[in-house]
Amino acid sequence: AQSVTQPDIHITVSEGASLELRCNYSYGATPYLFWYVQSPGQGLQLLLKYFSGDTLVQGIKGFEAEFKRSQSSFNLRKPSVHWSDAAEYFCAVGLLNTGNQFYFGTGTSLTVIP
Amino acid sequence: DAGITQSPRYKITETGRQVTLMCHQTWSHSYMFWYRQDLGHGLRLIYYSAAADITDKGEVPDGYVVSRSKTENFPLTLESATRSQTSVYFCASSDRRERIPRSGANVLTFGAGSRLTVL
């Protein structure tokens, strides 16, 4: 079945530490890939997107993500986490010729400790 | 205020009642979407609209009705609410210029959400 998987439901990191959030997808073709962040009580904000070209994409707030076709992954990274990064992170996939549907992962909740 | 606004932000209702969640965007975006967010399921698309008077079903449309008589508004109605419709509902919009070539997938801008509890 087609799916977007975020294997880590919850991650806790110390402020200043590096961060990697995992995202895997299972689709036959190369999808369009996105990472969104949701702060408590807020809507979702786009962090970054991958359509084609350079597989390492830069986003807002110091985040980056790398598309690895061989691993069907699009992991999100940040070299040094800030307390304000505590939020829910969603990976999303858009497919060729599927109209206007996104498929979202179940999310990873990030806690940042001092 | 510019942006995408949802109302009400919080709603408690009873089983069987009709509920309408409102979504208004000021950007004149062509596309609008309704998602529901549930623990363990992420976000699932309920309905979407490509333009005024054009709507289509998403992944989980049963029990919901939408309309889009004006570009800026996209209300979502639960005609007879059930407990399983307790959820957080997000409206989103997208500008046609953000449309990804060939895929039809768009970059979404989300509202702050409406938390609905059905007792």
Q: Within an 8 Å CB–CB cutoff, is residue A2 touching chain B?
A: no
Per-residue pLDDT, A99 = 59
B58 contacts in chain A (CB < 8 Å):
101
Q: What token pair was written down for B16? A: 């069987």
**AA letter at A86:** A
Contacts of A29 (CB under 8 A, 6+ apart): A95, A96
Q: Report the range out of A27-31, A88-92, B2-6, B49-53 with the highest average pLDDT.
A: A88-92
Regarding predicted confidence, which is higher, B16 or A41?
B16
Per-residue pLDDT, B50 = 85
Predicted confidence band of residue B98 (pLDDT cuts 50, 70, 90): low
Which segments in chain A show pLDDT lower than 70? 1-2, 28-30, 95-101
Predicted confidence band of residue B40 (pLDDT cuts 50, 70, 90): confident
Pairwise CA distance, residues B15 & B105, whole Å: 35
Q: Within an 8 Å CB–CB cutoff, is residue B93 touching chain A?
A: no
- What are A34's strand-pairing partners? A49, A92
Regarding predicted confidence, which is higher, B89 or A41?
B89
